[in-house]
Chain A
Amino acid sequence: MTEKKTLKRFASVFLASSLIVGALAGCSSSEEEKTSSSGGSSSSDGDSSEVIKIGANLELSGSVASYGSSIGKGAELAVEEINAAGGIDGKQIELVKVDNKSENSEATNAAIKLATQDKVTAMIAPATSGNVIATAQIANQYKIPTVTASGTAPNVTENEDGSINDYVFRTCFIDPFQGIVAANFATELGAKNVAIYADNSSDYAKGLAASFKQQIEANGGKVVAEEAYVAKDVDFKSTLTNLKSKNPEFIFIPGYYEEVGLIVKQARELGIDVPLMGADGWDSPTLVELAGKDALNNTFITNHYSSQDPDKTIQGFVEAFQGKFNEAPNAFHALGYDTVYFIADAIKRAGSTDGEAIQKALAETTDLSLITGTFSVDEKHNPVKSATVLEYVDGNQKFNSKVNP
């Protein structure tokens, strides 16, 4: 009796599980049909002539959602403009947005989904470097050219062993470049004895500090003091007093706006009135609130672009963006916008939607003029382009100069 019951029980469990599996199989086989109907050798070109799909694997929720959604907005505007102008060789672009919750694993999932389910031609990779790395192997495996708008870590495109991720590119400059630009700017200002005060808990800040030091020494300058703080510190006075005693003519402070705001404020209170400089991590309205307008005078940052750049195309972009979203575009908006144009340009030159052809075209990009600078792609898939130096004047960012590499 009991045996019969157990048998029955297992039979029903088995039936239920096979039903589930069957349903899954149903999904995938119908998917298969869809692709085979659209993917039959030459007919695929005919079919995709209607629309070119570009996937956007972005942080739309989670801890860095502001980066991802900014890039998404910029990309949307660019797609709209390209489509209004007739698309790429008559083909319209369709942007397929997928959320990766600012998590590595979700970024991998999203990339796989875009590659296998949506069958996109190219992808916009996530905003943060770690998430881009989580998608890089998928891009290589499925030969889908992938461009990150803001993944600045060097190992996004270059693996530890020196090999290049063939299908991964970026629109932004890499971290060490900003350090070099800052060092050259310091030399231009005539500073010989400089100090570095870096955030020790972030790879970003450490990378910037190292490249700054190297470049300033190459320029004949001297680092008289090197100090470090840790994110979430609030009192910097003792270290700053120490820095002051070394009499630097220029202080480089790579880090993020939360601590930098307090550092700048406390430095000015202690009477340190030399130029202070940082990088794109400073770029936030919060910085002005924390440091105060007066303290920020005579400070500089390097950034990807400035909405106050007098350049005509930039002003055109700012206007179009404000018209659509009713806010001033920041660097992430501009980078997202540029990423779409970067991909579109490569597809146009490749003359097809084949991954390998587009990859080649992306790698061969030279002197492409975009909002965040005119750039060429180097052998490590990094753009060679100018950085913008901004100066804070009474709490507003003022365009200072463009520095070419």
Chain B
Amino acid sequence: MKKSKAFWGFLVLALVIYAVVQGMISGGMLDLYYQNILIQMCINIMLAVSLHIVIGITGQFSIGHAGFMAVGAYISAIATMKLGLPLIVAIILGAVISALAGLLVGIPTLRLKGDYLAIATLGFAEIIRIMFLNVEYVGGAAGMVVTNLTTWTYAFVGVVITILVIANFTNSRHGRGCISIREDEIAADAMGINTTYYKVVAFTIGSFFAGVAGAIYAHNFFIIQPTTFNFLKSFDILIYVVLGGLGSLSGSVIAAIFLTLVSAYLANFPETRMIIYSVVLIIVMLYRPTGLMGTKEITSLFKFGKKGGSKV
């Protein structure tokens, strides 16, 4: 009962935000610059939330997320540019192939732990990138030119679905299985939880939504090149999750919004841009070592009176 209320509440909130922003766009109050920032914000939120399920919920340290984003981007671009499919089909196709890639990568590597897993995921992301670099069909090093098809609606719907699915997954039996792995894998194993299965599930769902984000990314920025999806991109996504607080979905969302705005604002100060950006990160980590939200969710902030609120 309580959960379904939160679900409908979130949907209503999403609809209200969408209506307000869409109204402002049609009213001409938000020009392309702000629309573009909003789309980018949505892409970053999707990436952050999809990595959150792997790192924050399941506790598996993956630093190859950009690789799955690349799969989504390239597959969807092939679908629209070479095969002439509509964008919505391309996004789904990109996401599904990306999820398959996640499954393929996940099954062997998720038996590894900690640093070993991190290195393995990094390696796989690089393999994916190098593959696209050497396939002439998708333009090789010069990249692939993609028509701009994304609108704010696509991006926003993507975010809403991503958050809904991952929030519901977290609250489900499977989600609790994943959380138990994060808290103590050996104990979870002893309790009869199939740890490899849950890890692979979380990883595949994460790859799926990274693929969605990649597809929307590809159709917003005119060109995709293998270098875009290098390990630095993976670290960018990792920063959102860690800055937001490991284990907090709303934290990932807030961090993604915050850092997108900081980055957009700092474009005016090219000489000092990266210094200020880094200083912001250091300051946040010094004063909020557990991230902006810790492991709390934003909804729990409104529940002070209630004992034992809905800690996820």
Contact = CB atoms under 8 A, between A and B. Distances in A.
Interface of A: 2, 5-6, 8-10, 12-14, 17-18, 21, 24-25, 27-29, 31-32, 58, 60-61, 63, 97-99, 101, 103-106, 108-110, 112-113, 115-117, 129-130, 133-137, 153, 155, 159-160, 201-203
B273 interface: yes
Given A6-B9, A98-B270, A109-B36, A203 B142 contact: yes
B145 A159 contact: yes
Interface residues of B, number: 50
B142 A153 contact: yes
A136 B222 contact: yes
B142 A112 contact: no
A300 B303 CA distance: 74
Given A129-B142, A203-B140, A104 B267 contact: no
Contacts of A13: 13, 298, 302
10 contacts: A17-B17, A25-B24, A28-B29, A32-B28, A61-B273, A104-B224, A116-B33, A133-B223, A203-B140, A203-B142
Nearest to A6: B5
A21 B21 contact: yes
Interface in B26-84: 28-34, 36-37, 40
Contacts, number: 125
B24 A21 contact: yes
A348 B305 CA distance: 70
Interface residues of B, dominant DSSP: helix
Nearest to B133: A201
Given A130-B143, A133-B145, A14 B273 contact: no
Contact of A10 (B13, B227, B270): B13
B248 to A, nearest CB: 16
Nearest to A96: B268
B224 A12 contact: no
Given A28-B30, A105-B40, A98 B9 contact: no
B29 A105 contact: no
B157 interface: no
B308 to A, nearest CB: 14
A108 B221 contact: yes
B218 to A, nearest CB: 10
Given A21-B17, A99-B270, 14 more contacts: A21-B24, A104-B143, A104-B225, A104-B228, A106-B267, A108-B36, A108-B222, A109-B36, A112-B32, A112-B36, A115-B32, A130-B142, A133-B222, A135-B222
